[in-house]
Amino acid sequence: MKRRRHSRGGAVLEFALTGAPMLFAFLVIAEMGRAMWTCQTLTYAAHEVNHYVAVHGTHCGGANGCTLTVGSVATAAAHYAMGLNPGALRICLTSLTTSYSCNTITSYKSNRNPWPPTTDNTVGTTIQLRLEYQFKSALAVLWPGARPVSFATYNMGANSKQRVLF
């Protein structure tokens, strides 16, 4: 059997033409999955933390035995948003008379103010919670361009609105 002289290096060329796009497609799929997981975790945490606050109203446990503070709500948010960086996770709290602007979870952990405030801690009062997270995507590193290589940041948010139940 004769060996062809001009077919050397064909496998390398074929891999370069098909392997690079396949690798890029795999990384895109993995990064999109990570973004969807982050969004779902953020939505779940917002709902669960607001439900946690809603069941700890004035009539919870008798003689006001389970009042919450802004710090305990921030700690619960960090717990439910497991896997997300607490330094990049921001929380906003809103009731009828009081609101706390969006700030990081770590900055609110030492806050001892009651949440919901005493005037808004009655059955049927609406409370709102918003969680925001800065998602850093590695896809921008792979994209050629004139900018310096860096991670792209996308802001994700989740809202929850519930009434105080007890």
Q: For residue 77, how many other CB atoms are within 10 A of its CB?
A: 26
| Reported confidence tier of residue 144, pLDDT bands at 50, 70, 90 | low
3-state secondary structure 129-163: EEEEEEEEECHHHHCCCCCCCCCEEEEEEEEEEEE
Q: What is the percent of the chain where pLDDT is above 70? A: 86
Q: 148 lies in which domain range?
A: 13-163
pLDDT tens, position by position, 82-136: 999 988 999 999 999 999 999 999 999 999 999 999 888 888 999 999 999 999 8
Q: Does residue 89 lie within any of the structural domains? A: yes
Angle between helices 70-80 and 10-54 (to 10 degrees): 150
- Kindly report whether the global pTM for this prediction surpasses the value 0.85: no
Q: Does residue 159 lie within any of the structural domains? A: yes
Q: Does residue 32 lie within any of the structural domains? A: yes
Q: Does residue 3 lie within any of the structural domains? A: no
Q: Does residue 88 lie within any of the structural domains? A: yes
Q: Does residue 5 lie within any of the structural domains? A: no
Number of separate domains in the chain: 1
Per DSSP, 9 falls in state T
Work out the average pLDDT over 46-68: 80
Q: Does residue 109 lie within any of the structural domains? A: yes
pLDDT at residue 145 in the model:
62
Q: Does residue 7 lie within any of the structural domains? A: no
